[in-house]
Amino acid sequence: MPVLEVDIEAIGRNTETVAALLRACRRGPGAHALDLVAVTKGCRGEPAVAAAMLAGGAVALADTRDLNLRRLREALPAAELHRIHLPSFVEPFEPGDVSYVSSWEGAQAVAAAAGSAAGPPARVMIQVETGDQREGVPVEQLSALAARVAADPRLRLAGVSTNYACFKGSPEGIRDSVQAVATAARVLRTEGHGVERVSGGNSSLLGLLVAGESLPAEITELRCGEALLLGQDALHYRPLPGCRTDACVLRAEVVEEYTKPAAGRRPARRLVLGVGRQDLGGGALKFIDPGLGEVGRSADYLVVECGSECAVARVGTMIDMVPSYEALVAAWTSPYVDLRFNGV
């Protein structure tokens, strides 16, 4: 069985590094340090990982799945939880302490899920579309939605947020995205809304901060998951200074080893590993041994070619690789991958 080895201490150190990077971010005069909201969907809301993120400096936890939010609520009752998935209209859901919405219907669903009118109003962040072409209210409709949310006594407008580089957002548009959500916050404030929190995006923004660029003064926080788990930004996938990129390592067994014909080239030594698309999806992998390279994968197997500098790998031995975020999520959720924690 493939093994996903997770170093809890390394994730905690990555969190400390990212939190320090946010605190040092240059912004406008009078701006407070940026807060880190740790996204736990990549680790299925694993409480041990979430606790390390909180200890490392995250002020809150965010997830997209109700099951994960329930796990976190039970294990870490004092933590502020953000539901960053849009509300469901066909089944009950966990609203979290802060819920992200992009429509009036979604805001109403959160109000209903939060309970009776006698309780405190449900806090919502309005998700704004700033170029990723996925979820989010168009900016020209934001004011009308905010006014309706503010007028409902069951709801409290906590702030605005955006997401970028998860669907269609290109690297060239990242600065426009964060400027757009900052402008949206300014507009709402001029209209009398108390916009306390402005979530400028995710780990895709960290490359800008490493390069010394500043963010608008309106931004109060970022939501980061990939950077904490894998030690890299989510736009160019570059390692972040001071972060560990091997906190999550996938190990798979060599189940076959032969020299076989290679199309249009001389025969090459190839390995067949006992892990495949069913466990990894289409996510990329980086082999610890630089002499290895992926040829392709099927549902149950990964075919790997060995270069001349490749170390000897025989049947029955294990090959180590670092998964991309997509591959990590797939492996963590696969029932066919053994999950092991170090440093708990």
User: pLDDT tens for residues 126-137?
Assistant: 999 999 999 999
pLDDT over 70 at 296, yes or no: yes
Distance CA 101, CA 124 (A): 7
Q: Within 13 A of 221's CA, how many CA atoms are on the CB side?
A: 24
- Pair of tokens at residue 255: 């189940």
> For residue 78, how many other CB atoms are within 10 A of its CB?
5
pLDDT digits (tens, 9 = 90+) for 246-294: 999 999 999 999 988 877 778 889 999 999 999 999 999 999 999 999 9
**What are the domain boundaries of the chain?**
8-230, 248-342
Phi, psi of 212 (to 5 degrees): 90, 10
pLDDT over 90 at 330, yes or no: yes
Q: What pairs with residue 305 in β-bridges?
A: 270, 293
- pLDDT mean across residues, the chain: 94
**The CATH number of the domain covering residues in 8-230:** 3.20.20.10
The pTM (predicted TM-score) of the whole model is 0.95
Compute the average pLDDT of residues 165-170: 92
- Given this model, what pLDDT does residue 343 score? 66
- Given this model, what pLDDT does residue 310 score? 80
Task: State how far the alpha carbon of 1 is from the alpha carbons of 195, 279, 280, in Å.
Answer: 49, 11, 13
Task: State how far the alpha carbon of 272 is from the alpha carbons of 16, 193, 257, 261, in Å.
Answer: 38, 59, 6, 14
Phi, psi of 332 (to 5 degrees): -65, -30
> For residue 315, how many other CB atoms are within 10 A of its CB?
12
β-strand 35-39 against 221-224: which pairing, if any? parallel
- Given this model, what pLDDT does residue 134 score? 95
Angle 105-106-107 (CA atoms, 0-180°, nearest 5)?
90
Distance CA 107, CA 148 (A): 9
- Pair of tokens at residue 89: 């209209």
pLDDT digits (tens, 9 = 90+) for 28-74: 777 888 999 999 999 999 999 999 999 999 999 999 999 999 999 99
pLDDT digits (tens, 9 = 90+) for 302-327: 999 998 778 778 899 999 999 999 99
How does residue 146 score in pLDDT terms, banded at 50, 70 and 90?
very high
pLDDT digits (tens, 9 = 90+) for 180-238: 999 999 999 999 999 999 999 999 999 999 999 999 999 999 999 999 999 999 999 99
Q: Within 13 A of 261's CA, how many CA atoms are on the CB side?
A: 2
- Given this model, what pLDDT does residue 344 score? 62
Distance CA 273, CA 251 (A): 10
- Pair of tokens at residue 158: 């906590």
- Given this model, what pLDDT does residue 29 score? 79
Distance CA 13, CA 131 (A): 32
Compute the average pLDDT of residues 95-116: 92
Distance CA 220, CA 196 (A): 8
CATH topology of domain 248-342: Lyase, Ornithine Decarboxylase; Chain A, domain 1 (2.40.37)
- Given this model, what pLDDT does residue 311 score? 76
pLDDT digits (tens, 9 = 90+) for 48-61: 999 999 999 999 99
